[in-house]
Each structure stands twice: as structure tokens, then as C-alpha cells.
Amino acid sequence: MRTHALYAVAAFALAACGQQAPADASGETAPAQTAAESVDLAAAPAGTYVTDPKHRYITFTYWHQGYSRPYLRWRDWEGVLEWNPENPEQSSISVTIDAASIDSGVDEFDDHLRSADFFDVANHPEIAFESTSVERVGPNKGKVTGELTIKGVTKPVALDVTFNKADALQDGGHKLGFSAKTTVKRSDFGVDRYVPFVGDEVEVLIEAELASR
């Protein structure tokens, strides 16, 4: 990918440096919030949950010629979860991404990523994921396996998932929070421009809050 991708990672780094943890009244820095090791799954009853568009993020990163790891994202996407707290293994999730919403922070680079050299959004406007199995591997940990489709190519992908929180909302609804990550090879999906000079392995990071429908 072109060197102007470096602008994206530079912006990301500057933003990260500017977000310092707040200090309490004693002047001590407050500890960062982390997911609880044990979460009450039943705090969110069974049903359909949809991603909150104000609190859902898909970012991805790769090596750019060994110099840096740019961070990019998709702005527009939706996840729909069929949630079963009594038997999480019976839950399922589907995700649809507007491929054209890719965002590096650099317009020229985004246009190139949308072209036939990469995601070819004119012919493949959506990226999709459909879960095929859910495995609970810890009190708040799981592995979600499913089929990922990019540019008309479908491959199995496994995501490591952390269940962060479940709670009731003031409006009578409920909300769930998840973190997930996986690594894929872009060449598996026909997105192989500049491989191996630009990294083939892409780490995908997902943060999502889902509200009951």
C-alpha cells in the first residue's frame, strides 16, 4: 500500500498520546478501565441485539514495508446478534460492512483502496461475516467461528471474543459489550496488491456495544 498510509498511523499515534488517564482528587492517575473477568451473562435477556452506531468500531492494521503499522477503519457497518445467555453456544452473529466506508484519514489513499487494486467496491460493495459456531472458553471469553466474505471470496475465520458487560438501560432495554480480534491474510481474499512488500497478515480489532431491538 502507498506510503501516504503513514499519515493515518501518525494521526492515530497523536490521538493516542493526547488521551491521558484522568487524575483523581489526590492527583494520582486513575487506573484504566478493563473488562471484568466474570460477567453476568443473564443481565441481558435472550433476544436480538443490534450494534449501537455511536459505539461500534472495526479497525485493522498491517506492516507497511516494515516501517510502521498503519491503523485504518470501516465507518459504516452493522452487527446483529441473536443472544442466548443460558446457552451462549447457541448464539449467532452476522455483520455487514459497507466496503466503501473504508477510512485511512487520507482521501487519495481511500480512493485507491476502493479501486480494483484492493477492495473493488464498485463490484463488491459489501463485506460480510456469518457465524457458524460459538465456543465458550472462559468466564467471559469465547471463540466465534464463521464465514468471512470479501470480494466474493468466502473463507473461515475465528475470532477471539471478550464479553465485557451486560446491563439494563433506563429506557427498559438492555445492552451488551464485546471486544474481538482476529488475523487474516488479505491475499486469501484476492486483496494481494503489493504483497509481500506490504504485509499480507492483517490484524482486525473490533469493539462493539449492542442494544436490544
Q: What pLDDT digit, counting tens, does each position of 173-193 carry? A: 999 999 999 999 999 999 999
In the chain, what percentage of residues exceed pLDDT 90?
79
Query: What's the predicted TM-score (pTM) here?
Result: 0.81
Residue (of 132, 133, 181, 122) closest to 154 by Cα position: 132
CA separation for the pair 50, 16 (Å, rounded): 28
In this structure, what CATH number is given to the domain that contains residue 192? Answer: 2.40.128.110
Determine the structural domain holding residue 54 and report its residue range. Answer: 5-212
Residue 174 neighbours by CB under 8 Å, 6+ apart: 43, 44, 45, 47, 49, 166, 167, 168, 211, 212
CA separation for the pair 101, 98 (Å, rounded): 6
Q: What pLDDT band is residue 39 in, cutting at 50, 70 and 90?
A: confident
pLDDT of 4 reads 42
Residue 3 neighbours by CB under 8 Å, 6+ apart: 64
Q: Nearest 5°: phi and psi at 49?
A: -125, 140
Which sign does the torsion angle of CA 150, 152, 157, 161 carry? Answer: positive
pLDDT of 35 reads 54
Residue (of 83, 86, 92) closest to 146 by Cα position: 92
CA separation for the pair 187, 196 (Å, rounded): 10
Residue (of 154, 91, 92, 161) closest to 127 by Cα position: 154
pLDDT of 12 reads 37
Q: What pLDDT digit, counting tens, does each position of 137-159 carry? A: 999 999 999 999 999 999 999 99
Tell me the average pLDDT of the chain: 88
> For the chain, how many structural domains are there in total?
1
CA separation for the pair 97, 46 (Å, rounded): 25
